[in-house]
Amino acid sequence: MDHSQVIIRPVVSEKSYVLSALHRYTFRVHHEAHKTQIRQAVEALFDVHVVEVRTSTVKSKPKRRGTTTGRTRTWKKAIVQVREGESIPIFQGLAAVDS
């Protein structure tokens, strides 16, 4: 699997903003990707050194629009911690949004 296929997109949420101050970045990743692939993809794409990778599966939720019912997709989330002093440019300037 190619590095650009492993990392799908960054997760933008209040929790991910707080974690970015601690050098932890949250990504939506391919559902079959394992921790080693995620580490290699982040290091290759963003030129940083990964200290730790934590993964979790986000379960689907029931949704309804009128009388039609369904569920959202199940997806895999990875929280990646990079070395102290390094950062990922996608998440730069997020803390400045508060003011």
Q: What residues pair up with 70 in beta bridges, in sequence order?
A: 63
81 and 23 in contact (C-beta within 8 Å)? yes
Would you call 1 helix, strand, or coil by DSSP? coil
**pLDDT tens-digit readout, 4-16:** 999 999 999 999 9
**pLDDT tens-digit readout, 18-62:** 999 899 999 999 999 999 999 999 999 999 999 999 999 999 999
Q: What residues pair up with 79 in beta bridges, in sequence order?
A: 26, 54
Burial class for 81, CB neighbours closer than 10 Å (0-12, 13-18, 19+): middle
pTM score of the predicted model: 0.85
pLDDT of residue 99: 45
CA 76 to chain CA centroid, Å, is: 9
| Selected residue with higher pLDDT from 92 and 98 | 92
pLDDT of 2 over the 70 cut: yes
Q: Give all domains of the chain, ordered by start, each with its CATH number.
A: 3-85 (3.30.70.330)
Q: Counting every residue, how long is the chain? A: 99
